[in-house]
Amino acid sequence: MKDNPFISNTFASIWLKYFNNGRPAIDFKFITNISFVKTKLLPLYVNVGKNLTNGLNYVINKDETDYKNKVFFVYDIPEYLNLKIELTNGLKLKTVRQYIGYLVDLSKYKNADDYLKTHLSSNSRWKINKSKKRLETCFNITYGVLYGKETKKEDFDYAFDYFNKLLQKRFVEKQINNHYLSPKKWSYLQELIYNLILENKAALFVIYNDTIPISVYLNYVSSNVLYSALPVFDPDYSKFNLGYIDNLKHIEWCYKNNIDIFDFSKGDYDYKKRLGNKEYYFDYHILYDSKSIRANLLCQFIYFYFSGKQALRDLNIHILYHKVIFFLKRNQNKNVELEYKRIDIKNLPNDTQLTKLDFNSLSNSVMKKSIIEFLYKSSESVNDISIFKSKEDERVYFLRGKSITEKIILKNK
């Protein structure tokens, strides 16, 4: 794996700053590409980055013996790397199979269209293209990628602020917790990603409606792999299949930048199965001194601990866990759900009874969602509709398009 972003100096220094109190990492001669931090009480060393990487690789130096009396735990080794690990008589390896992953191997295809024609049915391609055309018809859509040393800090901060808002909105809707939304991890992520973007080791894909991000997709980048890390889109636009549109933009970008693999990483989701052409697993690696009784016992404990966690994960216990955490924090994410009623009408009330509104300045999220659905249904442009609010009843709005006029009444559930 060339230029792995997760073993870069920038990644290591920022991770150590936030999660190791700025203390330096520990390097060992017997293993290259990975640095470690030591646990407090045990002779256990864990890779820098822990479980916040999307894939590591390493090489064993057989002539070195500074592993003696120790155990080394390495998160997230992608199976598709096919690491050739040559062990010594004393150094042994146990692997713990963990998350399933999916990727797109583009190396055998000429371009994005060639891949899609080979991998997706004509009906699936038609549906995605239809969604893209309708999205671009209904809204003033632009596509951007924040990548490279020319990226302005203000542009990044603007997109990342919406990234946070969209994640909060999305996970409140799903009623599960996302660990990246904790203040500490979010500060870490924001500092890390901007610095990696400047080094061509991260990329932020953004879909804008006018100037407002409606989809933000975080990726890490190496010379030949684009790693999907954290995608989110505004759920109000779900009818437009933003996720598929965004992923197709990623595949096109891979070809433009001579990248062979688009790695969807962890997670068993339908879109990964449909768009991906290879399934693999992430493994945890436990390297240990087999001649040390203490190291053997510690290795066995770690192995059974993570094997047990995976068994629970296979039973979807992790989904219940994230839902419980969400409800424990629900006061921080409190939102009042609304419903609305749509009524087709022929004419608007008198102008004196109405206040005209602009779509992008709407503060009522439910009303904005109803307008998006109106545009999807009518295939009209947001530039061609008029939005009004009743002066007599704050729950009542009106939409007028080229062919349809609607009255919308909001109410609490």
10-residue averages of pLDDT along the chain (413 residues): 88 98 96 96 96 95 96 97 89 95 96 94 95 97 98 98 94 75 95 99 98 97 96 94 96 98 91 94 97 97 92 66 55 57 90 90 85 92 94 92 90 63
Task: Identify the pLDDT of residue 366.
Answer: 85
pTM: predicted TM-score of the whole model, two decimal places: 0.90
Task: Identify the pLDDT of residue 413.
Answer: 45
The C-alpha atoms of residue 47 and residue 211 are separated, in whole angstroms, by: 40
Task: Identify the pLDDT of residue 318.
Answer: 52
The C-alpha atoms of residue 22 and residue 387 are separated, in whole angstroms, by: 53
Q: List, for residues 92-130, the tens digit of each pLDDT value.
A: 999 999 999 999 999 999 999 999 999 999 999 999 999
The C-alpha atoms of residue 108 and residue 366 are separated, in whole angstroms, by: 45
Amino acid, single-letter form, for residue 60:
I
Strands of the sheet with 212-221, listed across from one edge: 36-38, 44-47, 71-78, 278-289, 91-105, 261-266, 225-233, 212-221, 202-209, 141-146
Q: List, for residues 373-410, the tens digit of each pLDDT value.
A: 999 989 999 999 999 999 999 899 999 998 889 999 98
The C-alpha atoms of residue 38 and residue 59 are separated, in whole angstroms, by: 20
Domains plus CATH for the chain? 5-99+280-319 (no CATH), 103-279 (3.40.630.30), 338-412 (no CATH)
Is-contact 276 261, C-beta < 8 A? no
Task: Identify the pLDDT of residue 329.
Answer: 56
The C-alpha atoms of residue 281 and residue 97 are separated, in whole angstroms, by: 7
Task: Identify the pLDDT of residue 330.
Answer: 57
Strand partners, 102: 265, 279
CA nearest to 229, candidates 267, 256, 191: 267
